[in-house]
Structure 1
Amino acid sequence: MAHDAVARTPDHHERERLLRMLAAATFIIFFQAYMVAPIIPALSNAFETSVQTVGLVVPAYLIPYGIATLIFGLLADRLGVQRVMFASLMAFAALTALTATATSIEQIALWRVLTGLGASGVVPLALVLVGKLFPYEQRGRPLGWLFGAMAGGMAFGSPLGAMLVPFIGWQGLFLLIGAAGGIVLLLFLPYRRIIATAMQPVGGTLGDLFRGYLGLLGTPRGRRTYGYVFVNSMFHSGVFT
């Protein structure tokens, strides 16, 4: 059994290919998160709804995304990272494409809520996976890839979303990104076993999880850090709308 585990340990080339897949998934998810705010005027015109009302589709995605991140971590500990990550990426691709079927702002908001819930298991688990695949002294470069993919998704999503809408329409934009997510999912499939080997499910109860969070927030430094991240995320995301 031990020999089999060693035999399936990913080599350098496998880790690098997996890292590129993780970066691609991260880029696409952040791209679609930041492509919505610039097309608010186009959505407002298409549905003859005020810009203020259409602007609610941004927090409709971001708030469920942030909340569900905590839940996906718990599920991954018990079900396995590869299962949760693949299910999350599948949900992201399908729900993003289905957003194109909306016939009202209310329907778009609903699809964005569901997309936020479904997509939030990919990027946080990718960061955890990098921590398992790469030794501490080698971790800076792969983490740089993931954070660069985040920044790139934000940087390209905001302008390209608005630039593409006149040519393919807002429905085409969501279909395009949904298809891109599906392609990345298919490219991920050969790496299921590598991810499963690197990240074994762990035990523990729900009470252990809450005690862990309370421990993090039980110190002044922990409260300051999480409070800063919480407030910063609101200002950072709100400015785009």
Structure 2
Amino acid sequence: MTTAATAASQPTLQAVSPATPVAASRARQAVVLAALFAAWAVAYTDRIVIGTAIIPISRELALSDAAKGYVLGAFYATYALMQLGGGALADRFGARRVLFGCLALWSLFTALTGAAWSLGSLLAFRLLFGVGEGSFAPASSTAIVQTFPQQVRARVQALLCSTVFLGSAAGAATVGWTIARIGWRQTFLMLGALGAVVAFALLVVPGRKHASQAAETAEAADAAEAVKARPRWRDIARDPLVWRVALTWFGCCVLALGLQAWLPIWLMRTRGIDLLHIGFISAIPLLASFVGTNLAGFAIDRLPAARLKHLLAGSALASAAFAAAMPFAGSLAALIACWTLCMLAFDVVYAGVFAIPLKHFPASVAGRTTGLINFAGQLAGAISTVVVGALVGHAGWTAAFAFLTCGALVASVAALGCRFHAR
């Protein structure tokens, strides 16, 4: 998990590593993977819609740039907090109940967003939407640990992570069209209904009983020892690797989530691009990232553990460089190229960060470590979207891009401090 020195200082977390649950059959793995893939695609479509919808919403509700920042950041505030509770719930009660409940709840508040009548109501619905989605990522990690063998988890996690780009690409193109044709209120209602339907697909995920049976068929001595000394939150929090990975993810999310939230407004204001075409342009780097994240997952499964920190640090640095170049692109083609390269570099960090809890920590804490790390990333989203809104209103877009770029630079430095060893 960490270097020998770190391992010696953290005996509790290391000693209680349980036997890896026996993998489900390949047919069951395929069904679970398909269900999780569909749910993640819906999650990211629901999440990205606000970036485009905020343009007509701000006109209808007369929102300032600062108010837009609060609306764009509200989701990430509650989403970040729920990462911690969601990881604990999934580790204790199993993934299926948590996953189903999350999707049902966030679909409800996605639909209700279309009924917002004021800034206050819009903020309330976005905060509650974050509560619904917040436990989904850690519960998904628990489902992967319960279903797939350790040697393929990075590529499975990368495939699910890549749905952020596939769902966002489909969402950006489709949502731009639906908002232009039928309005933003009807678009949110439509997405809420879609999520409610997909929620039932998650019932194929292994329940707590199935996961327990798998653990019982593993090495009995290790499993019994794990039950006697279940790792606690403080054991997880004492490991410096958790915090270094969390800071890496925090810095990259300052850049990525800030760009995701504000790029549609930036493109409209500085390039004069309308809503419909913003959606189609956004799909190009997002689709490239779908492929890039999956390739990164396969590479990370084969990468020596000692080299992972250099991969993360170099990729974070590259994402900062390409983001910094975006405001200076002389043509739309050059802008799209910089945007795409920025996202491809971010993909490597994304795949790596979410593979770490599955490959470098005990299986019994997969949900909680994922939740803690993703808490840092989503906290960055809440901060970044609000700060960018303030900077745009007072200092302009150049200052906003400088702030976003600094986030990725922090991530690069933090990644160099990580120490891994294969389990």
AA paired with 2:109? L
* Aligned pair partner of 1:57 in 71, 74, 78: 71
* Aligned pair partner of 1:122 in 106, 114, 136: 136
Q: Secondary structure at the match of 1:139?
A: helix
AA paired with 1:126? S
TM-superposed CA distance for 1:187, in Å, is 2.4
TM-superposed CA distance for 1:103, in Å, is 0.9
Q: Secondary structure at the match of 2:63?
A: coil
Separation in structure 2 between the aligned mates of residue 66 and residue 206 of structure 1, nearest angstrom: 24
Separation in structure 1 between the aligned mates of residue 242 and residue 141 of structure 2, nearest angstrom: 20
In the alignment, which residue of structure 2 is the partner of 1:161?
Answer: 175
Separation in structure 2 between the aligned mates of residue 206 and residue 65 of structure 1, nearest angstrom: 26
In the alignment, which residue of structure 2 is the partner of 1:136?
Answer: 150
Matched, 1:186 2:206: no
Matched, 1:195 2:219: no
* Aligned pair partner of 2:84 in 67, 70, 81: 70
Q: Deviations over 1:177-206 (max 9, x none)?
A: 1111111112233x25x3334444997999
In the alignment, which residue of structure 2 is the partner of 1:3?
Answer: none
Q: Secondary structure at the match of 1:101?
A: coil
Separation in structure 1 between the aligned mates of residue 119 and residue 50 of structure 2, nearest angstrom: 13
Matched, 1:110 2:124: yes
Sort the Cα spacing of 1:143 and 1:182 in 2 relative to 1 into closer, same or farther, 3 A. same
Structure 1: 5+ residue stretches without partners = 1-8
Sort the Cα spacing of 1:203 and 1:180 in 2 relative to 1 into closer, same or farther, 3 A. farther
AA paired with 1:183? V
Matched, 1:173 2:193: no
TM-score w.r.t. the length of structure 1 is 0.83
AA paired with 2:64? S
TM-superposed CA distance for 1:134, in Å, is 1.1
In the alignment, which residue of structure 2 is the partner of 1:209?
Answer: 233
TM-superposed CA distance for 1:68, in Å, is 0.8
AA paired with 1:110? A
Separation in structure 1 between the aligned mates of residue 107 and residue 227 of structure 2, nearest angstrom: 30
* Aligned pair partner of 1:12 in 19, 23, 26: 26
TM-superposed CA distance for 1:89, in Å, is 1.3
* Aligned pair partner of 1:24 in 7, 28, 38: 38
AA paired with 1:195? G
Given that 1:97 and 1:176 are in contact with CA atoms closer than 8 Å, whether structure 2 keeps it comes out as yes
User: How many residues are aligned here?
Assistant: 227
TM-superposed CA distance for 1:129, in Å, is 1.2
Separation in structure 2 between the aligned mates of residue 31 and residue 169 of structure 1, nearest angstrom: 16
Matched, 1:80 2:94: yes
Q: Secondary structure at the match of 1:36?
A: helix
Given that 2:90 and 2:142 are in contact with CA atoms closer than 8 Å, whether structure 1 keeps it comes out as no
* Aligned pair partner of 2:253 in 209, 233, 236: 233
Q: Deviations over 1:43-89 (max 9, x none)?
A: 01121222431332111001211221111111223333222221111
Sort the Cα spacing of 1:168 and 1:117 in 2 relative to 1 into closer, same or farther, 3 A. same
AA paired with 1:208? R
TM-superposed CA distance for 1:122, in Å, is 1.8
* Aligned pair partner of 1:100 in 114, 122, 139: 114
TM-superposed CA distance for 1:222, in Å, is 4.2
Q: Secondary structure at the match of 2:183?
A: helix
Separation in structure 2 between the aligned mates of residue 64 and residue 199 of structure 1, nearest angstrom: 29
AA paired with 2:235? R
Separation in structure 2 between the aligned mates of residue 171 and residue 116 of structure 1, nearest angstrom: 19
Separation in structure 2 between the aligned mates of residue 188 and residue 224 of structure 1, nearest angstrom: 32
Q: Secondary structure at the match of 1:56?
A: helix
Separation in structure 2 between the aligned mates of residue 38 and residue 204 of structure 1, nearest angstrom: 50
AA paired with 1:234? V
Structure index of larger Rg: 2
TM-superposed CA distance for 1:170, in Å, is 0.9
Given that 2:50 and 2:72 are in contact with CA atoms closer than 8 Å, whether structure 1 keeps it comes out as yes
TM-superposed CA distance for 1:37, in Å, is 1.2
Q: Deviations over 1:153-187 (max 9, x none)?
A: 23333343233201121111111111111111122
Separation in structure 2 between the aligned mates of residue 204 and residue 110 of structure 1, nearest angstrom: 42
Q: Deviations over 1:179-237 (max 9, x none)?
A: 11111112233x25x33344449979999213321x22xx3x54432212112212211
Structure 2: 5+ residue stretches without partners = 1-22, 216-225, 263-423
Q: Secondary structure at the match of 2:117?
A: coil
Q: Secondary structure at the match of 2:176?
A: helix
Given that 2:87 and 2:135 are in contact with CA atoms closer than 8 Å, whether structure 1 keeps it comes out as yes
Q: Secondary structure at the match of 1:164?
A: helix
